[in-house]
Amino acid sequence: MKAGTLTFIDLFCGCGGLSLGFEKEGFNSMLANDIDKNSIDTFLHNRPGIDRNKVICDDIAKVLETKKNDLLDVDCTLVVGGPPCQGFSMANRQRLIDDPRNRLYKKFIEAVELINPKFILMENVKGMLRAAPQVLSDFEKIGYYAEHIILNVRDYGIPQNRERIFFIGTNIKKTPAENLDVIRRIISRIKCSQKSSEIPLQDALWGLRRLEAKTIKNDTGIESEKFGFTKDNIFYNEPVPEYILEINNDRIPKIVYNHKTRYNNERDIKIYDLLPQGGKSDHKAIQHIMPYKSRKHIFKDKFYKLIPTEPCKTITSHMKFDCHMYIHPFQSRGLTPREAARIQGFPDNYEFKGAFTQWYMQIGNSVPPLLAGVLANAIIKAGVENKTLSVLT
């Protein structure tokens, strides 16, 4: 089902999780854009053969202005992206489409209208569901008919509870009903790709060096067998889980990147040690040293020790501040960036660039590549079925 003439543009590409999934299914990147330099450095580093002129680190508004004529002339299969929309956060009660923080969503609409791809795919936080009718209406105003779907990555062989909303649209047919039929076929294929069983967190933790939390403050650059390395070996102590093979293209990994711990004070390390798996801030085992017990009704999830036999809780960019909600189930520390990347489904040779805390941010903001691959495959198959992607027939 793969073909070299399938093309896509990734707006708000981040470190490249969404792109990675589409690339593996045969899509060729025409353009990628993000405003964050560290994310772009990671994107480029892991694609050494890509045309660097097609990966742009700048504000989307400037890209649309300076590249307008170029974008008008492209023949693009798909435009994808996850515009940051803080106004739709589940923690925010005011989730309005005209919230000024959501201007980037409007820029995504503007880009789609300019590029005129065959298909569109927009990812966002589940909180955007409330604004879904407005989003669908905005797409329709520029000639695209779309549907939305809430997906949890745990249903697709990824060891994590992570719900996100996806808007999928097209303008390839003559009537709205025909276009919506194509989209519903894509969504049907996505649903049919669900796995029959969940992957536990412990599968994602396989083969990584046992580490301790750093006790030296303000020294993220320190590397050792005790605290980890930017580049390290894999340790084979048991059969390789199928999940590890899947995220590493059916190869047994030998090298892993970004497996390092962060600084924690003595009190936090003690809390990590005392909490049982599944325990959180209100657990009796830590009440004598719990720093937030006077506000435990607010901070009841401030600390949480993960359960190895279940999918992990949602990996988020908040991990750049601390990993109290992501305590390793067997070791008295928070998850490392590599462990978070494993849970997101990145291959072990995907190296994250920039400052240590930025590794967490990039990983937390990503679309899991395995799920992106499911979406890409569904679009390809539906396109073939409807003779839209005739190049594949």
For the annotated catalytic residues, the residue numbers are 85
Question: Do 168 and 144 touch, CB atoms closer than 8 A?
Answer: no
Question: CA-CA distance, 168 to 187, in Å (whole number)?
Answer: 8
Which phi and psi (to 5°) does residue 55 adopt? -120, 110
Residue 312: which of 331, 333, 335 has the closest Cα? 335
For the chain, how big is the Rg over CA atoms in Å? 21
Measured CA to CA, the distance from residue 154 to residue 168 in angstroms comes to 20
Tokens 């994107």, residue located: 43
User: Which amino acid is residue 383, in one-letter code?
Assistant: G
> Residue 347 CB: number of other CB atoms within 10 A?
20
Helices assigned H by DSSP within 275-365 = 337-344, 356-364
DSSP 357: H
Give the integer Cα–Cα distance in Å for 50 and 19: 12
Are 337 and 359 within 8 A, CB to CB? yes
How many whole angstroms separate alpha carbon 204 and alpha carbon 103?
A: 36
Pinpoint the alpha helices (H) of the chain.
17-24, 37-45, 60-66, 68-72, 103-115, 132-141, 176-192, 201-204, 242-247, 266-274, 337-344, 356-364, 369-385
Token representation of residue 101? 């923080």
Name residue, tokens 């279940």: 310
Q: Alpha carbon of 269 to those of 212, 216, 318, 327, 333: distances in Å?
A: 9, 13, 19, 10, 7
User: Strand, coil or helix: what is 255?
Assistant: strand
The DSSP call for residue 58 is: S
- For residue 64 the two structure tokens come to 């649309």
Residues in the chain: 393
Task: Determine contact, residues 264/249, Cβ cutoff 8 Å.
Answer: no
